[in-house]
Amino acid sequence: MPLIIKGTTQASECKCFGILIITLLLNILKCIQSMQIDFQKQSKKYFTFSMNRLNEAKLENFPEIEAYI
């Protein structure tokens, strides 16, 4: 299970991110699109997840993800 990263230094070293979406609001979608563009510019791999309920079992299905946002 990836650790929750509290520092940007640790996050900058990660190569694969998971973007968690709980609510689909317009301003949230714009923020997510901005993050995706940033990850692409930095050649970082990312996955976007839309979930009703967040639990550890679901997140453990993706062991390659180093940090979740």
pLDDT tens digits in sequence order for the chain, 69 residues long:
555 556 677 778 899 999 998 877 777 888 889 999 999 999 999 999 988 888 888 889 999 999 988
State the burial class of residue 44 (Cβ atoms within 10 Å of its Cβ: 0-12, 13-18, 19+): middle
Distances (CA, A) of 53 to 16, 29, 49, 50: 22, 18, 11, 9
Tokens for 47, please give them: 């996955």
Domain ranges of the chain: 15-68
DSSP 52: S
Q: Element (H or E) spanning 41, and its range?
A: helix 26-41
pTM confidence score: 0.76
